[in-house]
Amino acid sequence: MKILITGANRGIGLEMVKIAVSKQWQVKACCRNPHVADKLTEVARMSGGLVSVHTLDVTDKAQIQALAYELRGEIIDILINNAGVYGSMSHQFNNIDERDWIETFKVNTIAPLNMAEAFVENIALSKKKMIATVSSKMGSISDNTSGGSYIYRSTKTALNAVVKSMSIDLASKGICCVLLHPGWVKTEMGGPHAEISTRESVNQIFNTLESATINDSGSFFDIDGSLIAW
């Protein structure tokens, strides 16, 4: 399998690279600052050529286009849009940082579409033909019983709408577009009190991705492979 992952230098993205290598998959691992991504560069160095590291800030369209040009004609089985931000903690009623909201929107919502547009032909060349985007249950309107988190929730809800449309628009190319909730995971974003390790999360995510087919396109998967209501 040949995959491309954004935000691969830490957290869930870094674990995806490690587990992909253990499966002998080829990985294009993207991150903003490879020169300070020590853990990722070490995994790449030890991977026997399976992992290549690429500079990519997902909000920088010129960088996305440059990478797409560099990788033109190469097969990508699964594009994994993993990079994401929570936004500032000023996100409660009467306390919203609008500038931060827009920046969070660029990373969580707009970038995955820009990535899909840039790499769609690479994905179409593959057998698997999949775009997997890491969303969050916090973007589910049905699941929202605790309120707050206006910035993160709304950017992920909008992301879900983007991927649903992509699943319809790319059906004619046979490309399967899915959304994933990774669980509540011990990372910088999830914090130390989260429920599961990155390893547990990524093992489950890869099980879902390996078994998903075009018939699953447009689905929003929970960590156990069940469907999350919008």
Torsion of CA 190, 132, 83, 197, to 10 degrees: 30
Shortest CB 165 distance to ligand NAP, Å: 19
Nearest to 132 by CA among 178, 198, 181: 178
Q: 30 has which bridge partners? A: 54
CA distances 34 to 30, 52, 111, Å, are 8, 11, 19
Residue whose CB is less far from ligand NAP, 32 or 125: 32
Shortest CB 154 distance to ligand NAP, Å: 13
Torsion of CA 118, 120, 123, 128, to 10 degrees: 130
Shortest CB 127 distance to ligand NAP, Å: 26
Residue whose CB is less far from ligand NAP, 31 or 51: 31
Nearest to 161 by CA among 113, 214, 92, 89: 113
Rounded Cα distance between 31 and 58, Å, is 9
Shortest CB 46 distance to ligand NAP, Å: 19
Residue whose CB is less far from ligand NAP, 128 or 181: 181
**Residues of the shown chain interacting with ligand NAP in the complex, contacts defined by CB under 6 A:** 6-7, 9-13, 31-33, 57-59, 82-85, 107, 134, 136, 181-182, 184-185, 187-190, 194
Any idea what DSSP says for residue 214? Answer: G
Residue whose CB is less far from ligand NAP, 73 or 193: 193
Residue whose CB is less far from ligand NAP, 82 or 122: 82
Shortest CB 214 distance to ligand NAP, Å: 24
